[in-house]
Amino acid sequence: MEIRANHHYPSRRSAVFADNMVATSHPLAAQAGLAMLKRGGNAVDAAIATAITLTLVEPSGNGVGSDAFAIVWDGKELHGLNASGRSPAAWTPERFAQHKEMPFRGWESVTVPGAVSAWVALSDRFGALPFSELFQPAIDYAQNGFIVTPVIAQLWQRAAVELGEYPGFAEAFLPNGQPPKAGERFINKPLAKTFKQIADTKGEAFYKGPLARSICDFATQHGAALTLDDMAAHKADWCGTIAQKFDDVELHEIPPNGQGIAALMALGILSHTSIRELSADDPRAFHLQIETMKLALVDVENFVADPEHMTDVSASDLLDETYLATRAALIDPDKARDFNIGVPKNGGTVYLSAADASGMMVSFIQSNYAGFGSGVVVPGTGIALQNRGAGFSTDPSNQNCVGPNKRPFQTIIPGFLKGPNGPIMSFGVMGGPMQAQGHVQMVLRTQLWKQDPQMAVDAPRWRFVKGLSVACEDTMPSATITALSAMGHEISLESPDNAFGFGGAQLICRLDDQGYAAGSDPRKDGAAMGF
């Protein structure tokens, strides 16, 4: 038997229906979340257990050294959590003065990891089960091994070529000098020990104890700036959400330093176009979405940063209705335009959504940024560190310019939809700059064009790249490609399995008569599961 990451046969899956639900990109992680629900836990417990397990079974997209964000519907209101880390205190602009852009890999791309603080903060505020219990599935898989899935194996192979020489990477991820193949068992006992320390100390070991010392000692060995003081100073922030209405629905995102505001801006701009008159797969509908994303992304690139440093333009300025109308007026309904956007970087991320019978829903995302993050893995711990520092600018005039104790611009965004009667959908689309673009596509398909969550996930996607360049999945109808090309879009075709190119969507929709319908992206190894 040959195990493949993709095949050439068209397939269709139905949405999954249940009273308790987890949807994510790896079935073992989804089952870990369901196990917590069956033990009497709630959606937050399920989300945390799923997230912890994902750091083991999907190391390409995340790790214990990731950052994270979450949106929680507690049954009455929404809560937004920003658990992204800040730069080391020694990261002055002068430190990177010789760089035209920030280093993309290695220690000089590592900021303080925030994912562990997200698990702790969520558990403290909303969890029903003991924190340590949430780690048990991941500990078991780390000690006894798990079977590597096809998509992850493919990404692992790619990373091995690029990252094999980075500090600690080969020791952690290349047993016998080679990445594991699909169908092979991978054991990570150092990570099992790390999980136990985090579980037993509720994260203290990671930020102030022995794990923090291991991280910072390794940093010192390699001339990096990260210190124990940097680790100990970290905290996750309950930041609330920002929102944008589109007819009767309201999209909620985490405020900057993330790119969620790009999805809000795009929806606001689309409100001033003819999008409602068009069908879901009309090339003109694709055209309008692409043009609005160009406008939103160029503003995000120029103005979005750590909110404490957004001194020129605020989030409310970018979402001002009059301003969005003026941006919409720039769109030619028949012709593609170059709004001089820069080139966003691709990345690796995991997303999950969880919901329970009480009505609690969680939208959660964590990421190492690029596949396997910085490439740095702390010896003896299994802790792979993100490369979020690459999200800074080296331009002193940019609000997102690198500086000490500062959060970089983040691509990872959890999404949440509300309606007049409460929650509608907890969702996300992993995959670097695809995320905001994917959020817009999912909102329109499920709300404007009334597609069920699996249908919306299965539909062919597009991704704005730069200038007039747009990537489309090669499953897109040829007539659509021809029409977009005639409008001036420079189309490149990519297969849906192109790493994180078109993202990996996970959707959980609240049904009118209680319960949920969920969809999970066939571009990933995951599943929507419930009971």
The tokens describing 321, both together, are: 């209705």
The tokens describing 82, both together, are: 């920003």
| Amino acid letter, 22 | V
Please give the pLDDT value at position 312: 79
pLDDT at 453 over 90: yes
CATH 1.10.730.10 applies to domain 242-346+414-530: no
For 46, residues 6+ apart whose C-beta sits below 8 A from its C-beta are 20, 22, 33, 34, 36, 37, 354, 356, 362
pLDDT at 495 over 90: no
Please give the pLDDT value at position 11: 67
pLDDT at 90 over 50: yes
Q: How would residue 311 be classed by pLDDT, with cut points 50, 70 and 90?
A: confident
pLDDT for 179-189, tens place per residue? 999 999 999 99
Please give the pLDDT value at position 105: 97
pLDDT for 312-349, tens place per residue? 788 999 999 999 999 999 999 999 998 764 333 445 68
Is 415 in a helix, a strand, or coil?
A: strand
- CB distance 34 to 530 below 8 Å: yes
Q: Could you tell me the sign of the dihedral formed by the alpha carbons of 20, 25, 28, 32, in that order? A: negative
Q: Which of 132-141, 226-235, 469-478 has the lowest mean pLDDT?
A: 469-478
Interatomic CA distance for residues 503 and 497, integer angstroms: 9
Q: How would residue 1 be classed by pLDDT, with cut points 50, 70 and 90?
A: low
pLDDT at 109 over 90: yes
Q: Report how far apart, in Å, the C-alpha atoms of 80 and of each of 172, 249, 255, 417, 434 are.
A: 33, 18, 9, 13, 21
Interatomic CA distance for residues 363 and 99, integer angstroms: 36
pLDDT for 34-87, tens place per residue? 999 999 999 999 999 999 999 999 999 999 999 999 999 999 999 999 999 999
